[in-house]
Chains A and B, each alone.
Chain A
């Protein structure tokens, strides 16, 4: 038998820490692109629920991959600089840590 309607879910990804929220992980147009894709998926659920969920899975996977790629790239840059013995500015390190924290907070808020 079909499940009855559940209570509406709260919106995910709401970050309470103001400082973390101020560090965007994606550029504005990339973010907009992801959101548009999500909107279409959500709108299409009524017509094809299963396909909708499959596409949501793909979208979430590609966002997650993009994020991990971004952090891998970031980490590579840092490691390369350290290996070369270059000094990375404290400011660059500060920004890097804020980006890590932004991601970290979002993961924990799930």
Chain B
């Protein structure tokens, strides 16, 4: 083969490698975007760098893959649902305590399902892998709960925190906590 031919082949191979690499990157982005939804955008904003954000998200996926996350049993689901309803009721008498208990309950469900109890940010990161759509709610609720500790949250904000916690809670449970009778009350 002549030098020209060799150069042509090497160049073509290199171009192909680059194309394949670019395709893989696009697929990776597509996968992470689709899997993480709004959380993807949040992390990109926070990191200020798409590549770094994608590395962080991919790392999350890897980490959670190694955990043994299991579904709740029917009994556990019922128990948690009942406990949640108690907290919703308690809100009327003591909104701050209700929000604090809701936070604890959500963490308890995560632990029972197999997520390690670490710090809030790691827990949020872990849970975002399979529950990306509601993780924004978790973040919002937690913010309010923090401010509530300093006596800075209004009752309306605490109410919204409950609703946000419940969104994650229900996603973790794989079922809603409201019984059918709540429809009757509405009429």
Chain A residues proximal to chain B, CB less than 8 Å: 1-5, 8-9, 39-49, 51, 55
B89 & A39 in contact (Cβ 8 Å cutoff): yes
Count of B interface residues, CB-CB < 8 Å? 23
Q: A5-B96, A49-B159 are in contact. Are A43 and B89 (CB under 8 A)?
A: yes
A45 & B92 in contact (Cβ 8 Å cutoff): yes
Q: Would you give the shortest CB distance from A46 to chain B, in whole angstroms?
A: 5
Report which of A8, A41, A46 forms a contact with B94, defined as CB distance below 8 A.
A8
Q: A2-B154, A2-B155, A3-B155 are in contact. Are A46 and B162 (CB under 8 A)?
A: yes
B92 & A42 in contact (Cβ 8 Å cutoff): yes
In Å, the complex CA distance between A47 and B89 comes to 11
In Å, the complex CA distance between A49 and B158 comes to 12
Stretch at the interface among B27-35, B108-116, B126-134, B178-186: B178-186
Closest residue on chain A to residue B148 by CB atoms = A5
Which residues B80-132 have CB closer than 8 A to chain A? 85, 88-89, 91-96
In Å, the complex CA distance between A5 and B92 comes to 10
B89 & A1 in contact (Cβ 8 Å cutoff): no
